[in-house]
Structure 1
Amino acid sequence: MKRIDVEKRTIFIGLAGSHGYGLNRPDSDYDYRGAFIAPKRYYLGFDRVEQKDSGWNEEGIFPFLDGATDTVIYEIRKLIQLLSGANPNVLELLWLTQYPVLTSVGRLLIENRQLFLSKKVKHTYSGYASAQIKKMETHRKWLLNPPQKKPLPTDFGIEDEPLLTKEELNTFLEYLYLLIRGKVEFLEEAEQLYKLLTAEVDFKSLLKQYVLPDETLEYTQNLTNSRKDFIRLLKKSQRYQVALREWKAYQAWKENRNPVRAEMERKSGFDLKHGMHCIRLLRSGLEILRTGELIVDRTVAGDAEDLRAILQGKYTYEQVMKMADDVVVEMDEVYEGSNLPNKPDLEKINELCIEIVEMQGF
């Protein structure tokens, strides 16, 4: 959809990112996030739209979005789906302190924001924090022990036989995922595993991201009726593709790093921004479990200066990791006694979505 058409049907836009967290500097970018309701053709016809995240140089209604490259406005159903899944980056949009655009329809959504809080936040917030830690560890490894050369097939024992391509690997792993999912779909005792495979954990991405462990290869061969030489080549090809992906990521990291951030990272030995976001996410998740409220602005939460200290390199890598471990332990303790429901009421959320779309009209 064109920018102007999205903005005409926008129900709210909030100021997120560092400004939303109260951690902005004079040179900080403005990150805007919002929601819109698509026209009838996107509900009743073949057209599909989930979000508007580019084209901000087009003609628009709101001048503050002109050229604002870090802007995303979600279609309401996509937004509510993410909210229902306790997505940390989206939940916070209903608890911002500044809304340059807020209609009566958008206000209704914000007034019902408690519907989206549940004990699921323990898993999503700690999961997003773990992703920040993984980035920290990857960058730290590159800082302390950078890759020396581009990986070659011969490094993985692949001489004359052709590698499986990335597309061939992904097709096979997709097939493997569907077979495993099908094995447990109708078994009552495997209900939780089926939920993990289909909803709570992105197992498809995990299969494609990591090399299959040795102990699973025989089962994989039997499950898929594959030849031994194919399974052997599969493992070698996966190892090569993982190494090649890391090499490319390392090259992109070297070329695209912000010079100031890179220097701070070199001095401290880890990525300070990822460290700060890790702690912010964990503390936010803990606060939700404890109080049933989400505090986005860290000046209100009272730890803005502490988070700035992480960004300024005043904590070591070990200290930040100890901080994270301590909050995780506390989160586990608070989780059991939290007054939040175990999961959101999807029926009420669905009714709210219908009401919002009907209020906006087509």
Structure 2
Amino acid sequence: MTLEYLQQNRSLLLLECISGSKAYNLELPTSDTDLKGVFVLPRKTLYGMTYTAQVANEKNDEIYYEVKRFLELLEKNNPNILELLSTPQHCIRFRHPLMNLIKPSDFLSKLCQDTFAGYASAQIKKARGLNKKINQSFPEKRKNIIEFCYVVDGLQTKPLVTWLESKGYEQSDCGLARLDHFRDLYALFHNSQFPDVSFKGIYSGDEANDVQLSSIPKGIIPLVILEFNKDAYSVYCKDFASYHEWVAKRNEARYAHNKQLGADYDSKHMMHTYRLLTMAEEIALYKEVRVWRDDRDFLLRIRNGEFSYEQLLEMVEEKMTNMTRLYAESDLPASPDPTLTEQILVRIREEFYV
């Protein structure tokens, strides 16, 4: 089962909707058209050895769920699936009569507190991640090990780079020996002490993850003691790699938008965070999923960077607190009835395959 096959065999569709910003009433001139839907596997495929839970295009802006998978996620109160089931009428491109068997009221439960808040927390994490990366700055080339090394020279400590320059030494002409009972401390020697000996150098190259040791003749006093701040170097390398991975994969249009706004967070992620939490409140209050947003103007103010990062986090925290209270007071069931879910699935398959 593939997306292409489904597109060519539309008789398998139960539901097809425009989703995303156009369904949320958050559409902008630059917004794409996202599609989501529900389908039924051909009977022969269902009875066979393989099961396809969902199909999508490469960008994941067209996603279709097999009815069993759709109901599984619905039973878990997945926000995306609840939104799909409650898509505004004008965004529904096709709806099979069998979809009338699946009613939002049969599935809304107190699980929404955790699923919507969990989804919102993921958006906050993404926004915080961008906040960190926007305020980081890494050059194209990674720092090397010696920039995280220091020496004890007499009664002074100096960066290794400074000490090497003062001596006119190259790191490749130095040798290290481990000091017993001391973590990341080494005795440093130079080949000027041993004209007939070649040392390996302090590190093997710019991609090295640790210093390297050399064979040292016995009875020679080291020039200095070297300390390698390995923990700091490991953190730096991890942040460096993460930053450049983000640069390679980031949405340049969205990044440029946030930079233009002067926002040090992903304003679109934060807009959807606030939207999700508001929808969760509405489920507790009104027992319905309000996909079409009447608070469009306020949400677009968030997207346009009119609030500081700190203000948004305060607003989100207030939402979280209010949501906890609303769900504690709500008479929603703790979770959907799995027996009903199974009955609906069986009936849909029986009637669809007739």
Equivalent pair of 1:151/1:247 in contact (CA under 8 Å): no
Separation in structure 2 between the aligned mates of residue 361 and residue 151 of structure 1, nearest angstrom: 63
Q: Which residue identity is paired with 1:298? A: R
Q: Report the counterpart of residue 324 of structure 1 in structure 2.
A: 316
Q: CA deviation at 1:284?
A: 0.8
AA matched with 1:255 = A
SS of residue paired to 1:298: coil
1:19 pairs with 2:19: no
For residues 290 and 278 of structure 2, what CA distance do their matches in structure 1 show? Answer: 10
Instruction: Give the corresponding residue for 1:95.
Output: 86
Structure 1 counterpart of 2:119: 128
Q: CA-atom RMSD, angstroms?
A: 2.9
Match of 1:265 among 258, 262, 269: 258
Residue 118 in 1 paired to residue 121 in 2? no
Quick check: 1:358 aligned with 2:350?
yes
State the Cα distance separating 1:286 from its structure 2 match. Answer: 1.1
Q: Give the drift of 1:150.
A: 5.2
Q: TM-score, normalised by structure 1?
A: 0.67
Among 29, 54, 60, the residue aligned to 1:51: 54
* Structure-1 residue corresponding to 2:76: 85
Residue type matched to 1:336 in 2? A
SS of 1:100's equivalent?
strand
2:248 maps to what in 1?
A: 255
- Per the TM alignment, residue 14 of structure 1 is displaced from its structure 2 partner at its CA by 0.9
2-structure distance, mates of 1:341, 1:80? 17
Q: Is the CA contact 2:77–2:112 (under 8 Å) kept in the aligned structure 1? A: yes
1:36-185 → structure 2 map (5 Å cutoff): 36-54=39-57, 70-97=61-88, 98-109=91-102, 112-147=103-138
Match of 1:307 in 2: 299
Q: Any conservation in 2 of the 1:264–1:313 contact (CA below 8 Å)? A: no
Q: Distance in 2 between matches of 1:115 and 1:154?
A: 63
Alpha-carbon deviation of 1:322? Answer: 1.0
Partner of 1:181: none
Q: Is the 8 A contact 1:9 1:36 kept in 2?
A: yes
- Structure ranking higher in helix proportion: 1
Q: How many aligned positions are there?
A: 266
Aligned partner of residue 38 in structure 2, secondary structure? strand
The percent of aligned pairs where both chains have the same amino acid is: 31
1:154 positional shift: 11
Structure 1 CA distance for aligned equivalents of residues 99 and 236 of structure 2: 46
Separation (CA, whole Å) in 1 of partners of 2:286 and 2:146: 56
Aligned partners of 2:10 and 2:290: how far apart in 1? 27
How far the C-alpha of 1:108 sits from its partner, in A, is 2.8
* Contact in 2 for aligned 1:12/1:102 (Cα 8 Å): yes
Q: Which of 76-85 and 35-44 deviates more?
A: 35-44
- 2:291 paired residue among 296, 304, 319: 296
Q: 1:276 aligns with which of 271, 278, 288?
A: 271
Q: Provide, for residues 55-74 of structure 1, a one-character-per-residue CA deviation record: whole Å limited to 9, x for no partner.
A: 8xxxxxxxxxxxx9610111
Shift of 1:256: 3.9
Distance 1:147 1:285, change over 3 A: farther
The AA in structure 2 aligned to 1:351 is Q
CA distance in 2, matches of 1:244, 1:78: 40
Q: Give the 3 Å change call, closer, same or farther, for CA 249–84 of structure 1 in structure 2.
A: farther
Confirm or deny that 1:9 pairs with 2:12: yes
Give the conservation status (yes or no) of the 8 Å contact 1:37–1:75. Answer: yes
Greater strand percent: which structure? 2
Normalised to the residue count of structure 2, the TM-score between the two structures is 0.68
Compared CA separation, residues 151 and 329, structure 1 to 2 (3 A):
farther
Compute the displacement of 1:140 (Å).
Answer: 0.7
For the pair 1:343 / 2:330, whether they are aligned, the reply is no
**Letter matched to residue 56 of structure 2:** D
State the AA in 2 paired with 1:100.
R
- CA 1:243–1:45 in 2, change beyond 3 Å: closer, same or farther? farther
C-alpha deviation, 1:155, in angstroms: 11
Measured after TM superposition, the shift of residue 153 of structure 1 is 10
Deviation at 1:265, TM superposition (A): 2.1
Q: Deviations over 1:244-267 (max 9, x none)?
A: 776554324323434442233231
Partner of 1:163: none
